[in-house]
Each structure stands twice: as C-alpha cells, then as structure tokens.
Amino acid sequence: MTPTAPYTGLEAEARICAHCGYCQAVCPTYAAIGWESAGPRGRMTIAAEAFRGGLADEAAQRIYECTLCGHCREACATRIDTLAAWLEARRRLADRGALERLPLGRLRDNLRQAHNVTGDPTENRLIWQEDAGLPSARLNGRPGAAVVYFVGCVTGLYGQGRSIAQAAAELFGRAGVDFTTLGSEEWCCGFPYLGLGLPDEAAAVARHNLAAVQSLGARMIVTTCPSCFHMWRDVYPGLLAAPTGLEVWHASELLARLLGEGRLGLAPHPARVTYHDPCDLGRNSGVYDAPRAVLRAIPGLELVEMADARENALCCGGGGNLEAVNPALVAEIAARRIAQAVETGATLLVTPCQQCKRTLATAARKTRARLKVLDLGEIVRQAMDAQAG
Amino acid sequence: MSTPLTHPPLAELLGDRYTESPFERSFYGRDLAVVPPRLAALVGQTTPDAVARPRTAEEVSAILRYATGRKLAVTPRAAATTAFWNTVPLSGGLTLDLTAMAGLIEIHKARLTATVLPGTRWADLDRTLQRRGFTVLSYPTSAPAATVGGWLCMEGYGIGSLKYGGLEGHVCGLEVVLADGRITHAPGALEAPGALQVTGFAGSEGTLGIVTRAELVIRCTPAAIGHHLLAFTDMAALAGAAAKLAATTPTPFYAHFATQSYGWFLRRAGFASAADGALLAITYDGEPDEVMLGARNVKQEAARWDGETLPETLAVREWEERFLALRLKRAGPGVLGAESWLPVARLAEYAADVAKLSVRQNLPIATYGTVVAPGQATVMSLYGCDEARPLPYLLALSLTKKLYDIAFRHGGRPYGIGVWNTPYLSHALSADELATRRARKRTLDPLNILNPGKVYAPPRLLWPPTFKLGMDALAGLRRMGRGWLR
C-alpha cells in the first residue's frame, strides 16, 4: 500500500486536495458514470462545500456510490487517506439521516436485527454445513481449537458463497488444521456498518465477535472474506482501542503455507486462469503474492495476469454497500473487469473473495462471457479432488 | 415538476451524456486553481449552463453546429489539470467534457505512430503502448490525469521533451472539428489564409477547434534506463551542470531540478527530501551503451561542479515521484505560484531573486522545474496560501505577479495563458505572433464561440495597466503587514 499522510479531518483534507484528477483516472464509479461529481475529486468538492450547509440527496448519493476500493488513495498526489475521508463523510451523512433518504435503511435494519447483511435468521449461517453433511455439533463453537474460521455473511448466507465455506472447511480439515467456527454466534464483521457510516455499531459487533473467539480460547482467525480479514486485522484494533491478541490470516495466506508445507497434495489441473485482486485483500490489506502462490502451486495451471493487476487492479463493483444504493452501477463496473478478464484468453477467473465472485459471476453471465468464476479455495479443492480421484 | 431544458436538441443527441442539472454543472467551474467564489464571480460566470460528454467527432460536430447557430459559448475541457482557467467558462454556455473520447485506436508499426482519441490520459496511453513494446516520446508531469488533447492545447513540454522536443513535433496529424462543425484534418487540409496547421493548433488552448483524434510519433520501449541524483550547495553550480548535460550527447530523457527551498517545503509538508541542497535529477534511456555513456557524463559534471552524487535508490525514488510535486500542497493548504519558461543560464539569478522575494515577504517559496530543451527550462515557483482567509489570500495573490516579474527580468515568459496569464500577453507572445494568432482565431472561429475570454486578450478585471498597479500595491501592503498576516 502506498503510504498516506496522517489524516487531518474531512474539511482539512478536502482543502489539501489538489484537484489534480489522478484519483479520477482510477475511480471505477467515475469510469462508469462519467460526471465530475461521481469521481473522488468531485466527492472532495462535496466534502469541502456541501457540509457547510444542507446536503442535497444527489450529493449524498455520490458519497455512497463509492465502492471504497481504495484505488484513489493509491493515486492521490497529495497523499490523502481518501478511504478515511469517505468513511468520515458517510458517518456525517448517517448522522443527518441520509440512510433513510437513500435505500440504505434496510441494510442497517438487517444488521441491527439479525446481525447480518441479509436479515436471515442467524441459524441460516449453518446451512452451508448442513448442505455438505458436515457435523455442525463438532464443527461449531469447539473450545480449545487452535483456529477460528470466520465465515462471513455473504459466504454463509448466499447460495453462491456456501461452496466457498465448504471448500475451505474441507481443505483445512484435510490439511489437519485444528479449526472451529463461531456457528450461529458469528455476527457480521462490521464492515457494512462502517460503509454505512455507523462506526459505533461496527465497534459493538467487533466486541461481540472478539468475545466469542476469546471464549473458545483460539489464538488465530482465518477468513475467506477479504473484508472480514481487513476488519479483524486492521480495523478492529482501532475500533476496540486495543489489539485483539489474535493472529489474523486470510485463507489464501493459510493455503499458501499449507501447500508450502506439503500438507495438501494437488493433481494437475490444466487451465488458463486469470486472477482478480479483491480490493480489501490487495490494495487495502497488501496481500498480493499469497493467492498467486497458491495458483502457481497447482500443476498444469497457467496463470495469466489481466492488464490491470495487483495495486492497479480494477474494482469489481461489489464493495462499499454499492449494491444497496445503485445495483446497476455495480453491474457496469463489474462488466469492465470481466472485459479485462476475457482479454487474457482465460477460461477461469479466480478470486479469493465471495463478493467479487458473486459480482463477477453475475457480470460474466450478463455479458455472455465464456468465463467461469471460482473462489481460490474452490479451484484448490478441484485440484485436490482430481488427485483424490 | 422538472425544469424545461434550455437546449433540448443536445439532450436528444447525447441522452444521459448531457446535463443542465445545477448539481452536475457546479463541478465544472474550476480547475486546479483555488479561487474564492466572490473573486471568481468578478471575472465572469464560471459555472457552465450545460455540460455535454460527446463520444465521437460526429457528435462534437453536431454540438458545434448547434452552438454556432445560437452563438453559444463552448468551453472544451478534459482532465482540467492546469491552473490558468484554460478550461473554466467565463460566460456560462456549454462545457464540452472530452474525457469520454478516450483510447488508443491503432498502432502503425511501420511508421512508428499511434492514433489516439483526445481524452486519452498520457499514463494510460503509455501503459497500453508499453504492453506492446512501444512508448511515447514525451509526457506531461501530470501524466496520470492529463490527456493527449489537453496537453497538445497547452504548450506540450514536460518529461522527455529535452530528448525528443515538444509535443507539437510528435504530432503527424490531427482530426479537428472547427467552430462551424466542419470535421477537418491538419496539417494541410485547409488551404485558405490562416489555414490550420498542427503548429498553429498546438498551444491554442481550445480556442480554434476541438481535437478529436491525433496521430503521434512513438518509439520502441528503450532497452535500458538509468537514474542519477546530484546535490549542489548552490544553484549556479546546479544550473551549470544541467546546462552542460542538456547540451551533451547523449541527451538526457529527463532533467529535473529543485531548489533547497523545495526540499524545505517538502519536509514541511511531511515528506522526505533526498538531501538538504539543491537537487538535479537526470534520467537517460535508450540502448545500454547510451545509458552508460550518460552515467559517465553525469559523473564528470558532478566532479566539475562540485556536486554530490546521491545513492541510486534516491535517484530511483525521485523518478518514481516525478508526478507528485503537488504533495507540497500539504504545507498549504492552498498553493499559488507562477510557471515560466526560463533560460537555464539564468536559473541561478532567478532563484536568487525569488529567495530575496521570499525574505522580503516572509514567505517560503519552493522552486522546481524541468529542462525541456537545450538552454530552456520550465520553472514553477509555489508558495502556500489559505483561500479560506480572503484578505491574506488576496494579498498573497499579488506575489504571483512578482514571481513573473522576476522571470521576465531573466528572459522568461509565462507557460500557458488561459485567463490568469492574459495580463502578461506582451511577455508571452511577440506583437507579430499575437497578431498572427488573432487573425487565425478570426478566420477559424469568427463568432468567437470556442473558449471565449482566453488567450487573446485579458478580461476587464485583468486589464494590464490597472492589474499591474493593483498587484504591486497589494504586494506592498503585504510586505508592510507581513508580521500580522502570518
């Protein structure tokens, strides 16, 4: 990650903004919408001027149309921590009742009532285990386990996500990882709360989740979701004003280690594969090499990079609660990424993120791209299945 | 009930790429320059009445035909990365946002050229070319955002110009839409007196026509690149070394310099500077032996001018940070300044006079620039300001004029004109050149619909005699009150 200058507050940073447009050049929202108001320097203008008086709904909409991908932070000539700015703007908008005026109230209510993004009963977090015939009683809430697998809302509750959790559980199990999950005691990691502009509520779920892990005595957290990973590793200590005392790993890092230690055997899996860096794993957490190492460890797999990769990777559009505010914009942003994937000639697009998988798979279908989208763990499991077979 | 549109045919033509929304329009009344709204209002109506985002030359043509029919002012704009209000309207009208016309159309390998759309950002173009084994000859120091059309409409000197010359020399041909909507080509298509040529169009700041396509000379990606960074205790030595290296074969690709005060400014903004002295960064690229020869030249000149050779890691860092001069703004929060052409031979005297101004006005001034041709540099001098404090801001504004005065004393002229440099027209252009440009404007845009109020004459507020008197008076006031102004 490019280091930013210390954040000095929204109005101050908005005045420091040089309006150079470097941010605009990389902004997925601006690329799709095209109006100045839709880019980061437009949002800075809103921040600098609009908060002085009333804030029109169209200005609030622009603030919430950001995917929080962090690309503008990488590009900023004055080294503004733009993500901090967008989150502060949202916090202030939420204080002014913007969530009711924009279609975000439902997401907030789901989080408050069911502690997840969908509003499903919390027991539904176990469906992925039941579907796979996994023994829930032994899998969930096991005291003394070394590792807690934090599944996440989208992985646990969406149909397209469940196979990711199933693959992860199988891989960890086969590699002999002593792991458990929080089962129905798992709450949303708090990332959507932050994106809504409700940091106090994010802190409350952080406290719940940490207490749940501590009650089991585990010292390590692994997530398949990059946003949960980013929250646990980088945001929770700030929200809780104390270190969590836990080692936090993303599944791609753990898989790279397990493969390196020879704890997972893989058979040849010939395929031309391209890799999509999730924003919260890459730009916002600095993990680029581990998932690539996992893919390179699969015999016969050819990894081809897209034109924009690693720090420059295009966002899939799935972040920042954009889906709740402007789903058509998500589709447009995702289509641009799919076009880049298609250009590589790959037949498989792999990403270690359930939200990127959902967004990109939908875009691939809508754009009729001949491209299958898989999570990283899913392709490793396929390679393992092949060996087992 | 929605407000009826003022220009329904444009909405019909462009659909959702046309807006008269007050909210959307409000973002198109500025560029990099931070101007307090009350001062801006004195100059003109800087918010456009409508904004259009065409995608094709045909759409641009239809828009200009419509605008000509109604004598509607049209302000072309792309990334708006200048600070002279080149892209800010002075009488409302229609802003033509050309950023949707972006992309590389074709590489012509046999003649080593590339055809590109005008809204293509330089960094994007170069990245795309590099994937195919090519690169551009030069690019602006704002390449991550600045566009091909935008830089061409400015003077087009920056990184790479020392070795390859200004941008206009790299343009093999342009497709241009003229004010009356005709789609034409330069050079050569127009035979009438005042005919449009690439050389006439470059630097015209969008006042003669809208570039809708350009064919640019490119080159193969160089096999080697080498970066050097020298620190000097005085600017005279730096200028001597820079002048010598710029004039010696092989020619550096890039020669960037910064005064000691730039380093101070950088540290105040919270960033590391490579050394305490004045810095000269030199980059060679090309064949390995050329780069090696360049390294030998740098070593020789460092010894001759008593320059300290800094570690290569710092030289590489300077290169990687070549687009980040605006980091200085963190020391502001605003910055004002003056960018001038200057003979390299007068660089030390210029820097000394700026230092004196800095002391007189009790205001740190950072100076940096690029040697863009043998013997010629573009030099930027910046100082901090705070637009939220109107009186100190207004007084600080006067120092821009003082900086230009210094540049003029040393044979300089403003880089770019736009609105804010129109009081210095007599320094920017000779009487003959100005007459030629005005005649060309009358021929190609007789109704003066394209970017009116720019380049050719100052607006009333900036009428040179009163402007200069006023600025000098403000500078004098500032100097007297410098204690309580801080």
CA atoms within 13 A on the CB side of A163: 13
Instruction: Tell me the pTM.
Output: 0.95
Supply the pLDDT for residue B200: 81
Work out the average pLDDT over B91-110: 97
- Contact with chain B for residue A7, Cβ under 8 A: no
Q: From the list B24, B145, B388, which residue is nearest A22 (CB)?
A: B145
The region of weakest confidence among A200-204, B3-7, B75-79, B215-219 is: B3-7
Supply the pLDDT for residue B413: 96
**A332 and A348 belong to one structural domain:** yes
Contact check, Cβ <8 Å, A36/B24: yes
Tell me the chain A residues in contact with residue B36 when contact means C-beta distances shorter than 8 Å. Answer: none
Task: List the domains of chain B with CATH numbers.
Answer: 8-98 (3.30.43.10), 100-220 (3.30.465.10), 224-414 (3.40.462.40)
Q: Which amino acid is at B373?
A: A
**Would you state the structure tokens that stand for residue A286, as one six-digit string?**
């600095």
Supply the pLDDT for residue B189: 43
Q: Which amino acid is at B27?
A: F
pLDDT tens digit sequence for B300-357: 999 999 999 999 999 999 999 999 999 999 998 889 999 999 999 999 999 999 999 9
Q: From the list B79, B271, B387, which residue is nearest A21 (CB)?
A: B79
Q: Measure the CA–CA gap between B242 and B250, rounded to whole angstroms.
A: 13
B418: left (phi over 0), alpha (psi -120 to 50) or beta: left
Q: Measure the CA–CA gap between B227 and A13, rounded to whole angstroms.
A: 33
Supply the pLDDT for residue A57: 85
**A118 and A246 belong to one structural domain:** yes
Contact check, Cβ <8 Å, B28/A36: yes
Confidence grade of residue B191 (pLDDT, cut at 50, 70, 90): very low
**A113 and A251 belong to one structural domain:** yes
pLDDT tens digit sequence for B135-153: 999 999 999 999 999 999 9
Supply the pLDDT for residue B335: 92
The four Cα atoms B470, B475, B476, B479 give a dihedral, to 10 degrees, of 160
Residue A389 has pLDDT above 90, yes or no: no
pLDDT tens digit sequence for A278-316: 999 999 999 999 999 999 999 999 999 999 999 999 999
Residue corresponding to tokens 């005595």: A217
Q: Is residue A5 part of a domain?
A: no
Structural domain boundaries, residue A77: 10-101
Contact check, Cβ <8 Å, B326/A45: no
Contact check, Cβ <8 Å, B27/A42: yes
Q: Is residue A3 part of a domain?
A: no
Work out the average pLDDT over A271-282: 98
- Contact with chain A for residue B326, Cβ under 8 A: yes
Work out the average pLDDT over B22-50: 93
Contact check, Cβ <8 Å, B27/A36: yes
Mutate to test the interface with B, among A8, A55, A65, A78 (most CBs of B within 10 A): A78
Q: Measure the CA–CA gap between B318 and B176, rounded to whole angstroms.
A: 37
Tell me the chain B residues in contact with residue A34 when contact means C-beta distances shorter than 8 Å. Answer: 17, 53, 97, 99-100
Q: Is residue A4 part of a domain?
A: no
Confidence grade of residue A4 (pLDDT, cut at 50, 70, 90): confident
Confidence grade of residue B2 (pLDDT, cut at 50, 70, 90): low
**A150 and A194 belong to one structural domain:** yes
Q: Measure the CA–CA gap between B257 and B320, rounded to whole angstroms.
A: 15
B127: closest CA of chain A, how far (Å):
9
**A243 and A335 belong to one structural domain:** no
**A114 and A234 belong to one structural domain:** yes
Residue A72 has pLDDT above 90, yes or no: yes
**A248 and A176 belong to one structural domain:** yes
pLDDT tens digit sequence for B241-291: 999 999 999 999 999 999 999 999 999 999 999 988 999 999 999 999 999
- B385 contact partners, CB below 8 Å, separation of at least 6: B34, B332, B334, B335, B336, B392, B393, B396, B397
| Alpha helix stretches (DSSP H) within B183-272 | 198-201, 235-247, 260-268
Q: Is residue A198 part of a domain?
A: yes
> Of A233, A256, A279, which residue constitutes the final position of a domain?
A256
Please give the tally of structural domains in chain A.
3
pLDDT tens digit sequence for A125-151: 999 999 999 888 889 999 999 999 999
Work out the average pLDDT over A183-201: 97
Degrees to nearest 5, angle at CA A221 with A362 and A287: 55
Q: For residue B327, count other CB atoms closer than 10 A to its CB.
A: 21
Q: Which amino acid is at A134?
A: L
**A337 and A221 belong to one structural domain:** no
Confidence grade of residue B190 (pLDDT, cut at 50, 70, 90): very low
Supply the pLDDT for residue A90: 95
Q: Which of residues 79-118 of B touch A (CB under 8 A)?
A: 79-81, 97, 99-100
The four Cα atoms B154, B160, B161, B165 give a dihedral, to 10 degrees, of -110
Cβ atoms of A287 and A319 within 8 Å: the answer is no
Work out the average pLDDT over B454-458: 94
What is the distance, to the nearest Å, from the Cα of residue B457 to the centroid of all Cα atoms in its chain?
19
Which residue in A has a C-alpha nearest to residue B21's C-alpha? A58
**A331 and A367 belong to one structural domain:** yes
The region of weakest confidence among B3-7, B69-73, B124-128, B374-378 is: B3-7
Q: Is residue A247 part of a domain?
A: yes
Q: From the list B24, B79, B330, which residue is nearest A16 (CB)?
A: B330
Contact check, Cβ <8 Å, B326/A18: yes
Among residues B30, B142, B94, the alpha carbon closest in space to that of A49 is found at: B30
Q: Measure the CA–CA gap between A188 and A206, rounded to whole angstroms.
A: 9
CATH number at residue A135: 3.40.50.1860
Supply the pLDDT for residue A228: 98
Supply the pLDDT for residue B37: 86
- Contact with chain B for residue A365, Cβ under 8 A: no
The burial of A176, by beta-carbon neighbours within 10 Å (0-12 exposed, 13-18 middle, 19 or more buried), is given as exposed
Contact check, Cβ <8 Å, A36/B79: no
**What percent of chain B is predicted at pLDDT more than 90?**
88
Q: Is residue A2 part of a domain?
A: no
**What percent of chain A is predicted at pLDDT more than 70?**
97
**Would you state the structure tokens that stand for residue B18, as one six-digit string?**
């046309």
> Of A208, A228, A256, which residue constitutes the final position of a domain?
A256
Work out the average pLDDT over B152-158: 94
Q: Is residue A206 part of a domain?
A: yes
Q: Is residue A1 part of a domain?
A: no
- Contact with chain B for residue A48, Cβ under 8 A: no
Q: At what angle do helices A289-296 and A251-260 cross, to 10 degrees?
A: 40
User: Kind and range of the H or E element at B286?
Assistant: strand B278-286
**A69 and A144 belong to one structural domain:** no
**A196 and A313 belong to one structural domain:** no
Contact check, Cβ <8 Å, A18/B17: no
Residue A386 has pLDDT above 80, yes or no: no
CATH number at residue A276: 3.40.50.11810
Please compute Rg for chain A using Cα positions. Answer: 20
- B202 contact partners, CB below 8 Å, separation of at least 6: B152, B153, B155, B156, B166, B167, B168, B171
Q: From the list B17, B23, B32, which residue is nearest A20 (CB)?
A: B32
Which residue in A has a C-alpha nearest to residue B144's C-alpha? A22
> Of A198, A230, A256, which residue constitutes the final position of a domain?
A256
Confidence grade of residue A172 (pLDDT, cut at 50, 70, 90): very high
Supply the pLDDT for residue A191: 97
> In sequence order, what are the beta bridge partners of A350?
A275, A374
**A326 and A284 belong to one structural domain:** yes
The burial of B321, by beta-carbon neighbours within 10 Å (0-12 exposed, 13-18 middle, 19 or more buried), is given as middle
User: Kind and range of the H or E element at A72?
Assistant: helix A71-75
Q: Mean pLDDT score of chain B, rounded to an integer? A: 94
pLDDT tens digit sequence for B402-455: 999 999 999 999 999 999 999 999 999 999 999 999 999 999 999 999 999 999
Supply the pLDDT for residue A387: 66
